[in-house]
Amino acid sequence: MPRGLPVVRLRPRAEARAIRHGFPWVYADELVTDRRTMALMPGALAVLEDGERRPLGLVTVNTRSKIIARMLDRNPGASLDQAWFEARLARAAALRERLFDAPFYRLVHAEADGLPGIVIDRFGAVAVVQPNAAWAEAALPVLIAALVAVTGVRTVVKNGEGRARGLEGLAEEMAVVHGPAPLGPVEVPMNGAIYLADLLGGQKTGLFFDQRPNHAFAARLARGGRVLDVFSHVGGFALAALAGGAAHALAVDASAAALALAGQGAQASGFGGRLTTRQGDAFEVLEALGAEGARFDLVICDPPAFAPAKPALEAGLRAYERIARLAAPLVAPGGFLVLCSCSHAADLQAFRNACARGIGRGGRRGQIIHTGFAGPDHPVLPQLAESSYLKALVFRLDG
């Protein structure tokens, strides 16, 4: 037993087998929460034992979170020094370097890369770190030192915003924590287009790398056609479709800043004249386009998470159904409809059923020709369903 570390213990009826087989979380009702455990500072390290006092590994504890403990290392004697972080980061980087020709990708996908609650996206010489767990916040200086040593990035941005940090009791903060601040949006080459990512003021880390393979698939369907990209952000599916040979794309988003970046990306890519934008609430724009009699060969709807947690599941599924109902009539006969969900709580079957109901209510029928997920730089931990969150359904609609 390593000296100096507190010990936390599973309740007698808690399932230690799941932890032994790779499940990385302990929920609050599974841990003995005596006074010593409750006195631990958020993010503290501890040795986790099962109900029979057998060690299971090194965990981080946050008694303010429903996920009260996260597994860091199966070796209870592991030392979380810079060398430990460098080893985890090097393993993650080796996968991405094999997959991609240029350093633009998700470098660390939290638990699936052995760094619970940590997301790192790389944009060339800049990395954006999201420390979404209390232990990650506490370990940020050594994490940054290891990140610079392994990748050679010149700038590291801390994106301390979002729902996950609130659940951990962490304050929001956006800051450049290493190197010079980025001078304006960063150009990101992807799927034959150039995207502009605002790393300090944009959504999440500035760009959504997870949709890359789904962008590419949709682009094959867009050749020579008219495209509608709803919840487009900085160009999302629209720029990929134009790079793939679409005749024209309309990008719709509530954010004027995001649409401005989409326009700059189209110009930088050499097809600015084939992209138009429309700012507004997505539901209202879809209704207006329907009233206008607009028709497109390819329609994509990639909304934010309508069901980020189980309490929001029913309302979220109704929202996905409504999106499908409004979007389906806009698809030209024989055209394609792509519907996406990044909701953890809505599994594939529930999402597919909601989409099918919405398409039917929109007066259309169709077949699913493809089901897409996040790209390989967003690996899935098999024991953790939450690490597989993104779903993209591609429908070919009848006349």
Is 142 found in the same domain as 103?
A: yes
Domain termination site, one of 161, 178, 195: 178
Is 371 found in the same domain as 261?
A: yes
Is 56 found in the same domain as 152?
A: no
Among residues 301, 340, 342, 355, the one annotated as catalytic is 342
Of the ranges 15-24, 29-38, 51-60, 124-133, which one carries the lowest mean pLDDT score? 15-24
pLDDT > 90 fraction of the chain, expressed in percent and rounded: 90
Write down the pLDDT at residue 385.
Answer: 87
- Host domain of residue 373: 204-397
Is 352 found in the same domain as 257?
A: yes
Torsion-angle region of 245 (φ positive above 0: left; ψ -120 to 50: alpha; else: beta): left
Residue 342 falls in the annotated catalytic set? yes
Write down the pLDDT at residue 254.
Answer: 97
Q: What are phi and psi of 176, to 5 degrees?
A: -85, 120
C-alpha separations of 203 from 159, 162, 164, 206, 234 in Å: 10, 10, 14, 5, 10
Q: CB 378: neighbour CB atoms within 10 A?
A: 22
Work out how many domains the chain is built from and give that number.
3
Q: What CATH number corresponds to the domain at position 17?
A: 2.30.130.10
Q: What CATH number corresponds to the domain at position 248?
A: 3.40.50.150
C-alpha separations of 61 from 10, 13, 64 in Å: 13, 20, 9
Residue 221 lies in a domain: yes
Q: What CATH number corresponds to the domain at position 119?
A: 3.30.750.80
Write down the pLDDT at residue 3.
Answer: 58
Is 239 found in the same domain as 112?
A: no
DSSP label at residue 288 = H
Name the pTM for this structure.
0.95
d(CA 322, CA 308): 17
Residue 1 lies in a domain: no
pLDDT in tens, 198-226: 999 877 788 999 999 999 999 999 999 99
Mean of all residue pLDDT scores within the chain:
95
